[in-house]
Amino acid sequence: MSELQAQKREVTMTFPYFDAPCLVEADRTRLKQVLINLLSNAIKYGRAGGTVAVEYAVCEGETVRVSVRDNGKGLSLEKQAQLFQPFNRLGQELSTVQGTGIGLVMSKRLVELMGGRIGVESGVGEGSVFWFELKLAGDERAQPIPLAPVSIVIAEQFSALPKARTILYVEDNPANLKLVERLLERRTDIRLLSARDGGVGVQLARTHRPDVILMDINLPGISGIEALRILREDPATAGIPVVALSANAMPRDVEKGMEAGFFRYLTKPIQLGELMETLDVALALGTGENLPLEVVS
């Protein structure tokens, strides 16, 4: 939801990977509002062309702290003290950007109503870290939870180049995600979106219209083949080349994949040269357009 705003200021955003689901006691909508407020501030007041990183840490097994870190000008202690005061429009005297004092005051109120804490760590010239802490959900702590909505992981590299192409990688194995992310790091012409299951993958494909999709086959929930079928049936996504990237490497698996309509079928372990060549061919042929991004709620 903050992507368009980040793109306008050429801010690179990074989000954490969760090895396991992390559940908190909170109102879903309010929590989202708080996070969006912090992200929006970080993008607005951070450096144009800078970075905004979302991080999390579990504190003593009781609470989780979510931090939004920017590499902007930072804030003096005096400014930090004023931040959460009603009607303070911090930053207005520093720039032409509209102040968001009320947003932070609301965020503080909401976090406290949910039994949490909110704060800031900053120093002039050091950037700022806005954080909030919420109680971990007690009953859920020990239970394994299917990786459904909490599995949404978006790692985005916004390129300053206007022609940046988007690749969506649907993959449940964090090691493979990390690997492809690293392989593509140097490709400033490519930005990578990722999803950990087929359902989220289909959603992201509809919202972001990537130029190419890389699809694992064995996924939690629907399989990569099923996800491909859904993408093919939707005119909005039917034209996007979908490349299978799977550990199922038997000739029969490959044949099945090609029958299903994959653009190509690559097998794991991932081969750098083969992957890059395939992406270049798919990008060249791709009919998926980079439509202006919509804000979704």
Token output for 17 = 């990977």
Smallest separation (angstroms) from Mn ion to the CB of 20 = 16
How many Å separate Cα 149 from the centre of its chain?
13
Per CB under 5 A, residues contacting Mn ion are 172, 216, 218
Write the DSSP assignment of 100-131 as a string of letters.
Answer: -HHHHHHHHHHHHHTT-EEEEEE-TTS-EEEE
Q: How far is the CB of 220 from Mn ion (least distance, A)?
A: 8
CB 67 within 8 A of CB 129: yes
Closer CB to Mn ion, 160 or 175, in the complex: 175
Closest CA to 204 of 189, 190, 191, 193: 193
CB 31 within 8 A of CB 22: no
Least distance (Å) between residue 143 CB and Mn ion: 22
Least Cβ distance, residue 248 to Mn ion (angstroms): 10
What is the Cα–Cα distance from 215 to 246, expressed in whole angstroms? 8
Would you say 90 and 101 are in contact if contact means Cβ atoms under 8 Å apart? yes
Assigned token pair, 34: 């708080």
- Say if strands 63-70 and 117-122 run parallel, antiparallel, or are unpaired: unpaired
Based on CB atoms, which residue is closest to Mn ion, 118 or 227? 227
CA distance 25 to 130: 20
| Dist. CA 285–CA 162, nearest whole Å | 19
Closest CB 219 distance from Mn ion, rounded Å: 5
Cβ nearer to Mn ion, comparing 85 with 218:
218
Residue 33 or 173 having the CB closest to Mn ion: 173
Q: What is the nearest approach in angstroms of Mn ion to the Cβ of residue 176?
A: 8
- Closest CB to Mn ion among 119 and 221? 221
Q: Which of residues 157 and 223 has its CB atom nearest to Mn ion in the complex?
A: 223
